[in-house]
Amino acid sequence: MAYRRFIALGDSMTEGMSDEIRDGNYRGWADRVAEVMSSSWPDFTYANLAIRGKLVGQVVAEQIPLAIPHIQGSSTLVSFHAGANDVIRPKYDAERTIEIYNDGVERLRSTGATLMLFCVLEDSGATTRAARIWKERFQAFNENVRNQAEISGSILFDPNNDDFWRDPRFIDADRLHLNSEGHRRVAQAVLSRFELPHDPTWRDRLPPADPISVLEKISINLRWFWNFAIPWLGRRLRGRSSGDGRTAKYPTPIDFKTRS
């Protein structure tokens, strides 16, 4: 089925961090998908309202009302990826987060739009205490996403079905966001679902990584702590978010052929 419009909602993953920069913005998997859709489907337009750092309540309260006037029933494809920022917070309220997430899905479903929902990778392969907490929390969160996809008839993307996603080389140096290859692979997964031009090798594993020394590992860990962990902790202490003061890169539907 050809769609006339694609509206992307969510946080940093959908905004495109930390993909390559184009026209002053992160490109991201959604832009990559929209580029192909705009070349494949007539009269196609694209909007991306996602902003980094947003909690699920902010996505539902701020982005969905802006999206609804531009939804034209089932000919509009809407991606909704929110809640991961809530799950990784120290004071995560699972019941409240899931309640708000489900409300967002219902509000979008009621417009008649075709929805795309996303699970989060549960097992990164790490064995730290933080990784175990991450896995436990996201297993419960993802189970709800899967249930909502079934109830609402949404298209579901679940990276937990493919082991190759556990390769840390798809993740940026901040150890949180996808890098360019990660975004490219997500885009190929989405395009393949819609039978649009895509790289058929998107599920292939990367070649074995070169070994690194203990000193190199220590250096990488120190750089990560200084460049990413400390700023993140600083924002938490000040009650700030990386998305504060930022606006969506494509807040209203545009002809994306001119941007590709």
Q: Residue 253 is part of a domain; what is its CATH number? A: 3.40.50.1110
Q: How many domains does the chain have?
A: 1
For residue 86, being part of any structural domain is answered with yes
**Is pLDDT above 60 for 197?**
yes
Domain that holds residue 24: 5-210+248-258
**Is pLDDT above 90 for 194?**
yes
Q: Quick one: which of 15, 55, 49, 93 has its CA closest to 236?
A: 55
The residue-averaged pLDDT of 100-122 equals 97
Tell me the C-alpha distance between 82 and 118, whole Å. 9
pLDDT at 223: 84
Quick: pLDDT tens for 6-35.
999 999 999 999 999 998 999 999 999 999
Global pTM value: 0.94
Number of Cβ within 10 Å of residue 255's Cβ equals 11
For residue 233, being part of any structural domain is answered with no
For residue 241, being part of any structural domain is answered with no
Quick: pLDDT tens for 127-160.
777 788 889 999 999 999 999 999 999 999 999 9
For residue 227, being part of any structural domain is answered with no
Quick: pLDDT tens for 211-247.
889 998 888 888 877 887 888 777 767 777 676 779 9
The residue-averaged pLDDT of 171-192 equals 95
**Is pLDDT above 70 for 260?**
no
**Is pLDDT above 70 for 182?**
yes
For residue 237, being part of any structural domain is answered with no
> Exposure of 105 by Cβ count < 10 A (0-12 exposed, 13-18 middle, 19+ buried)?
buried
In whole numbers, what is the pLDDT of the chain averaged over residues? 93
**Model confidence band, residue 259 (pLDDT cutoffs 50, 70, 90):** low
For residue 178, being part of any structural domain is answered with yes
**Is pLDDT above 90 for 175?**
no
For residue 228, being part of any structural domain is answered with no
**Is pLDDT above 70 for 59?**
yes
pLDDT at 127: 73
For residue 72, being part of any structural domain is answered with yes
The residue-averaged pLDDT of 153-178 equals 94
